[in-house]
Chains A and B, each alone.
Chain A
């Protein structure tokens, strides 16, 4: 990211002359499974990042539920509020809610009138044509934008790293995807994904904690806590709810997820050898037999804390060797036998790429996505690729800047939409009126 950029107040659009832009300031929206990112084109971070999860209150039989969006809305304790998510596997699953979520992301802090700003949206490489048309229809019919463009998130991320040709490995919330890109175009047959992203990791942690009978507490449940020694029962004052006023189970799960996110950031780590991760024979005992670089303490919101040793690696190992994933009858998990690990999907993505191009692509491997920040992950991706494609030309890049890693797709879209030359690529309202939503296939490749 170029340094020295100033942050503007949230409602002010950036100066458009700075980089040869037009007078219009476009909006950029990157809708992901966990987060929806929105901001003005030309800026280096999205000004508005809200959870893609939302709250639904009430709504029985003939009345529609009241929907709440954004961090403040969904984290507030409200009796009866269900937490839901309109996205699934990176694409829209609920077309009633997704446009409302997008509108909230665009209008709550950025623009009051969407009809004044061209809109660039990003999409995953596996977005089906029906969804692409529907997205364009919503932009023009519902948001009334003057111009629209739909760009592949993987291509945007690749461009933002200065690469027109690359293998993009995106470790997101709902899945891990691998996208081969040549001269700015997705090699569609090579796009491969596996459901082993951040959400899978959360469930691995849940599974492990369930196996040692450690309940996950969430911040909202705790009024106050007292420091306790490692492994000792928590001494916390819990928030009490009157009958009928308790938060819903989905709210509890969502709040636990925030704790698990901290666990991933503080305690989880990817095994990087030497050799494969040694199996655990008896709980606790076997873990002393290999060097896992010391334990890490994690404290739950209620003060209960434990030192995690080799388990820190076991909860992440399933991403690479699904056979070794942890399982529990009550916690959902993909099939350990048939699910492909990261190494296999990388090999599969390049299977049909011709040999010359394969060399160029392997020389430009990019890792992005929030879950890629897991400690040790890029090193492991590197060694797995080295096994699948032995040769000296492997070169893997992952920016050290976590903001850029999380928002790579948005950032690429932001720059693209801010270029003065890009005005020829926008699909205008007039063109949409003439050709209908089918124009998306022709124009947004």
Chain B
């Protein structure tokens, strides 16, 4: 259980498994309306998948960022693909999106409920704690994902 008592809905982990088997590019999770469970908000569309031509990766990532709210918090999983000269790599990133201008209650509930979701998802390579768009910018995440861990 998380520090807040917030639990996971049944769909959280199976969606992550789908992403691991490359059927999804990203998943965005949010708190349910009664604030008691974490549920799916949105998943990637088929177009976002198989961005084999790497320049398209940046485009797909921008599309994902656009789905994050400016004034509210979210969790997200993104299958980040890149090539820094050693061939194509792919790393799964876990995002805690908590913009500075979000309401304090939202910040509180998302940060205190994070460990429940995080621990249920095995196989995350990089964790990103984002409080503004610069912290989740393509270059920043590329640098984190391509570094050893």
Contacts and interface: CB of A to CB of B under 8 A. Distances in A.
Interface in A95-138: none
Contacts of B131: 162-163, 397
Interface string B106-149: 11111111110010000000010101000100000000000001
B111 A419 contact: no
Given A155-B3, A419-B4, A20 B36 contact: yes
Nearest to B3: A184
Contact of A424 (B1, B104, B109): B1
A77 interface: no
- Assign chain B's interface to a size class: 35 or more
B96 A164 contact: yes
A308 interface: no
B24 interface: no
A416 B4 contact: yes
A43 B73 CA distance: 20
Given A415-B109, A420-B36, A422-B4, A163 B104 contact: no
Interface residues of A, number: 33
B5 interface: yes
Nearest to B32: A20
A412 B108 contact: yes
Given A155-B3, A425-B5, A163 B111 contact: yes
A46 B113 CA distance: 24
Contacts of A425: 1, 3-5
A163 B129 contact: yes
A19 B4 CA distance: 13
Given A161-B107, A184-B111, A422 B5 contact: yes
A424 B9 CA distance: 16
B34 interface: yes
Given A183-B115, A184-B112, A162 B5 contact: no
Given A419-B5, A421-B7, A159 B103 contact: no
B105 interface: yes
A348 interface: no
Interface in B1-15: 1-7
Contacts of A415: 104-105, 108-109
B104 A2 contact: yes
Contacts of A404: 104
A44 B108 contact: no
Interface in A147-177: 155, 158-165
Contact of B108 (A416, A420, A423): A416
A138 B64 CA distance: 51
B35 interface: yes
A421 B4 contact: yes
Given A420-B34, A421-B7, A44 B104 contact: yes
A105 to B, nearest CB: 22
A360 B129 contact: yes
A356 interface: yes
A397 B101 CA distance: 13
A198 to B, nearest CB: 25
Nearest to A17: B34
Contact of A411 (B3, B4, B33, B104): B104
B43 interface: no
A1 interface: yes
B57 to A, nearest CB: 24
A159 B108 CA distance: 5
B115 A20 contact: no
B18 to A, nearest CB: 25
A162 B35 contact: no
B35 A420 contact: yes
Nearest to B119: A183
A20 B110 CA distance: 14
A423 B115 contact: no
A316 interface: no
B35 A421 contact: yes
Contacts of A422: 4-5
Contact of A164 (B5, B104, B106, B111): B111
Please provide the 4 A-B residue pairs with the shortest distance between their CB atoms, ordered closest to farther. Answer: A162-B107, A162-B98, A20-B35, A421-B5
Interface of B: 1-7, 33-37, 73, 96, 98-100, 102-115, 118, 127, 129, 131, 135, 149
